[in-house]
Amino acid sequence: MWIVYSLLGAFFQASEMAIKKKALKTKGTNNIIAFLILLSAGIIMGMFLLFQNENIPINDLSFKFWIGLFSSALINVIATYFLYKALDISELSYLMPFMTLTSLAVIFPPMFLFREYPSFSGVMGILLVVLGALIMGHKKLEKTETEILQNKQNRKGLIFFLFTAVCYTVSPSVTKLAVIESSPLFASFTIYILMSLAFGIAILISNETKTVKNILQNLKYNEKRHFFMAIFFASLSTAISNLSINYAFTFQDVAYVMAIKRVMPFFAFLIGYFYFKEKTEVKRKIFATILMVLGAVMITILQ
């Protein structure tokens, strides 16, 4: 089941990023978008929590849980802030392969926190996933003025994105700490509520409420409907992705779960091909996909 949960996490995180990139590019609204998405995702998780009728006694939660909870919330707030800045100016297919590099670095925190040591075949599988993702994101040299400008924007966005990648190297381990000390559902709910509160405070401190109000007032009715529909689906994708990964943590080591999740470029390719009609360099992308699948097989079957 952990493989299914990890793949679901990868697919829905790719979906959430695609929605943010394509449908939520209203300038000056990153903090409010993050607040709305995270709060809505937290509410969705809270509804699941009520439906499951989980009884988590707050007073009995360990010190490790609180350390994991607040560390995860803080690190993921920083990651989300830089991720949204990167998505605003860079191409998704350019950024996402760099996320797979955290599949290597993510091996080390669990060694110290949980004594989780990947096998040789597991490490080789992770390397294949990373290699496939890098091939997926490789671009030929561009010559037109528009392509050169986009390349400059990509490199600028990459600086922001590297901060996100560093955060995502550490966050799975501290998140697992909160998960194993409570439950995947309760940990997900509390982390996202804390994250939404952080962005709410950022909106108030930066006095963005007037800016956001003016922007939304200038949107036409159909544009407003499109905006809030995108918020809803991004929130749903975020909630499902997070819950899936946290459930996977209860079955398997962090390094393996995150390596499977790093097949996101494959799902981004499918979304781009079938939905956004991005049909360039298909053979290269198929080859990269095969490498990532082989890596996933090595991680899961040969470990």
Angle at 91 between CA 235 and CA 292, to 5 degrees: 80
10-66 pLDDT per residue, tens: 889 888 888 887 777 666 778 888 999 999 999 999 998 888 876 777 778 899 999
Residues above pLDDT 70, as percent of the chain: 75
Higher pLDDT, 160 or 255: 160
Contacts of 300 (CB under 8 A, 6+ apart): 3, 125, 256, 260
Token output for 111:
């060694």
DSSP the chain: -HHHHHHHHHHHHHHHHHHHHHH---TT-HHHHHHHHHHHHHHHHHHHHHHHT----GGG--HHHHHHHHHHHHHHHHHHHHHHHHHHHS-HHHHHHHHHTHHHHTTHHHHHHT-----HHHHHHHHHHHHHHHHHH--PPP-SHHHHHHHHHHHHHHHHHHHHHHHHHHHHHHHHHHHHTS-HHHHHHHHHHHHHHHHHHHHHHTT-HHHHHHHHHHS-HHHHHHHHHHHHHHHHHHHHHHHHHHHHHTTS-HHHHHHHHTTHHHHHHHHHHHTS---SSHHHHHHHHHHHHHHHHHHHT--
pTM of the model: 0.76
Q: State how far the Cα of 181 lies from the Cα of 187, in Å rounded to an integer.
A: 9
Higher pLDDT, 286 or 157: 157
Tokens 């990964």 correspond to what residue? Answer: 245
Q: Do 273 and 279 touch, CB atoms closer than 8 A?
A: yes
Q: State how far the Cα of 134 lies from the Cα of 265, in Å rounded to an integer.
A: 9
161-188 pLDDT per residue, tens: 888 878 887 888 899 999 999 989 899 9
Distance of CA 122 to the CA centre of its chain: 22
Other C-beta atoms within 10 Å of 135: how many?
18
Burial class (CB in 10 A: 0-12, 13-18, 19+), 217: exposed
Highest mean pLDDT (candidates 46-50, 124-128, 145-149, 276-280): 46-50
For residue 160, the one-letter residue type is F
71-89 pLDDT per residue, tens: 999 999 999 999 888 888 8
Confidence (pLDDT) at 166: 81
Phi, psi of 279, deg, nearest 5: -120, 35
Residues above pLDDT 90, as percent of the chain: 22
263-291 pLDDT per residue, tens: 777 777 777 777 766 666 677 767 876 77
Residue 106 belongs to domain spanning: 2-300
**Number of domains into which the chain is organized:** 1
